Amino acid sequence: MTCQLPADCLNEIFEYLAEDKISLRSCLLVNRSWCEVAVRIFWRNIFSIQYYLHHREHIPFATLGTIIACLPSESKDLLYNINGIVVPTPTLNPPIFNYLSFVKVLSICTIGQIIEDALKKQHISSSQSLYFSKYLMLQELFKGFMSQISSLKSLDYVSRLDTQYMPFSYFPGAKDCLKDLSAFSCDSNIYPEFCFQMSQICYNIQSLTIEFKNSVSDGLKDLITFQVDLKYLNLKAFEDKDWREIVPALTKHHNNLTKLHINTDIDSVPFSFIALFENLQELFICSDRYISDFDKLQHVTFQNLRVLKIPNRQPKSEFFTKFLENNGQTLVELVLSDVNKSVKLSISRFCPNLKNLFVLFGKDETNLLKAILDSCQALESIKMWCGHDFLNEKEFLEVIASFSPKNFNELKLYNDTRELFREDMESFLLSWGNRIPHKPLKLFVTTLELNEEIITTIEKYRKLGVIRKFGFENFDY
């Protein structure tokens, strides 16, 4: 007798595969009960960019055909019979599920690109112009989404000129579909009427991403103001654009915003507004230019700040040291780039509760690394860039083996010089295996090349239980 897992157990298991669509897709083919559970998760974010990057041809067009098959008869008639737009569908039979109802994440730009690719590569035949056919198909797809998605969670409205105004907030069912929207991305010059309509429907946006263009829509300011509990704000400003115009609208959220990300390449953009958000827990500033007014933040205390990431250009060391003095006590994760010795020393003095750290250490800064390891006894993970002008792999591994605190268990080693030698790795792992108390290591490398000897050594110590997990990953901050 076969044992069938209940649907709620299957759902919990399949949730772990939500980002692994290849494996999740295989689960659809096991049996009907697996399919009924997996299909909802699979289609929840069916327009995942990563998924389509690996399946540029077949998968996007098959998905598009399935969506068209789920559209109401009037939409199909408008496309096929009136405008001569013929989209191949996977089967002539009606779809097994109403796939559109499972979608929770939409990106107007991604969908528009899939349609355009299909039209250009003649996966869709049409008697109309490319622009007209694309817009008409996008319109009918969003009519279907608005009428059949009961509660959309995430909407990316960052668009191109040919999809800049798609008034789907006026389509039947849009109010119910959009009322519980929790994540929204858009350009600052978003069409005012659309943004105003969104502000009348959506009050529960918790995550907002804005890419700044030549202007800032008044409707966008209203949309920000009307939100009840905005928690995450992501601002992207490039080529002389900035966020000054929306700062007054942000003042309402001084108490509830907990996560702020800023990406910019502009000189002298304002950062002092960050002081508004007294309950900030995570701050990420990626700037290609000098962070000009960080001096205005040096005396501000964020009592709940836990994550601080400034991976590119750093503030002046005297201002940043004072900032760490006021805020380092609560930090559990810190990511910095090429900071000077005084800032590294301030990490050891003011950040005793760090668990995750990335800082670049120079060839003569072994003692600074030791000081941080000695002071930050809660440290569990370090990401390190070795080689060239930085601390070499051998010295770094020796310091980690001898001086890392007892809870340390994860090492992410970036190396682009092919200087990682088997004897250095073996010596490190032997020392690590003799540590008391022993904590198996999670080891990730991003080196350009690992020779067979090192792979064999790592496998040997994995079998001995010294390494708990080993893997490769791309370097990022």
Question: Per residue in 240-288, pLDDT tens?
Answer: 778 888 999 999 999 999 999 999 887 667 888 999 999 999 999 988 7
Local structure of 448: helix, strand or coil: coil
* Distance in angstroms (rounded) separating the CA atoms of residues 34 and 5: 9
CB 204 within 8 A of CB 180: yes
Q: By C-alpha distance, which of 299, 340, 334 is closest to 316?
A: 340
Backbone angles phi, psi at 448, to 5 degrees: -65, -30
pLDDT in tens, 453-470: 888 888 999 999 999 998
- Domain extent for 8: 1-43
Which amino acid appears at position 84 of this protein? G
**Number of domains into which the chain is organized:** 3
pLDDT at 333: 97
- Look at residue 262 and tell me if it is in a domain: no
Clarify whether residues 55 and 162 are in a common domain.
Answer: yes
Torsion over CA: 313, 315, 321, 323 (sign) = negative
Local structure of 38: helix, strand or coil: helix
pLDDT at 351: 96
CA triple 413-419-422, angle to 5 deg: 85
Domain boundary among 156, 181, 206: 181
3-12, 101-110, 273-282, range with the lowest pLDDT? 3-12
Grade residue 87 by pLDDT with cuts at 50, 70 and 90. Answer: confident
This prediction has a pTM of 0.87
CB 312 within 8 A of CB 319: no
pLDDT in tens, 315-348: 788 889 999 999 999 999 999 987 889 999 999 9
Clarify whether residues 142 and 15 are in a common domain.
Answer: no
The chain-wide mean pLDDT, for the chain, equals 85
**Total count of residues recorded for the chain:** 477
- Pairing type for strands 381-386 and 410-415 reads parallel
Clarify whether residues 50 and 175 are in a common domain.
Answer: yes
Residue with tokens 């995550």: 207
Q: Is the per-residue pLDDT at 73 higher than 70? A: yes
Give the helix ranges, DSSP H, for 78-214: 108-120, 130-148, 174-178, 192-201
pLDDT at 58: 59
* Distance in angstroms (rounded) separating the CA atoms of residues 330 and 389: 31
pLDDT in tens, 36-71: 888 888 888 888 755 555 555 556 777 888 888 889
Domain boundary among 135, 159, 181: 181
pLDDT at 57: 56
Clarify whether residues 2 and 67 are in a common domain.
Answer: no
Clarify whether residues 60 and 168 are in a common domain.
Answer: yes
CB 474 within 8 A of CB 442: no
- Look at residue 192 and tell me if it is in a domain: no
- Look at residue 51 and tell me if it is in a domain: yes
Clarify whether residues 38 and 52 are in a common domain.
Answer: no
Q: Is the per-residue pLDDT at 1 higher than 50? A: no
- Look at residue 143 and tell me if it is in a domain: yes
Domain boundary among 122, 157, 181: 181
Q: By C-alpha distance, which of 132, 148, 142, 206 is closest to 169?
A: 142
Grade residue 100 by pLDDT with cuts at 50, 70 and 90. Answer: very high
Clarify whether residues 58 and 174 are in a common domain.
Answer: yes
- Look at residue 333 and tell me if it is in a domain: no
Clarify whether residues 387 and 404 are in a common domain.
Answer: yes
pLDDT at 327: 95
- Look at residue 267 and tell me if it is in a domain: no
* Distance in angstroms (rounded) separating the CA atoms of residues 117 and 134: 10
Q: H or E stretch including 333?
A: strand 333-336
Clarify whether residues 30 and 78 are in a common domain.
Answer: no
| Orientation angle between helical segments 192-201 and 218-226, nearest 10 degrees | 10
Query: Which residue did the predictor score with more confidence, 264 or 381?
Result: 381
Clarify whether residues 125 and 7 are in a common domain.
Answer: no
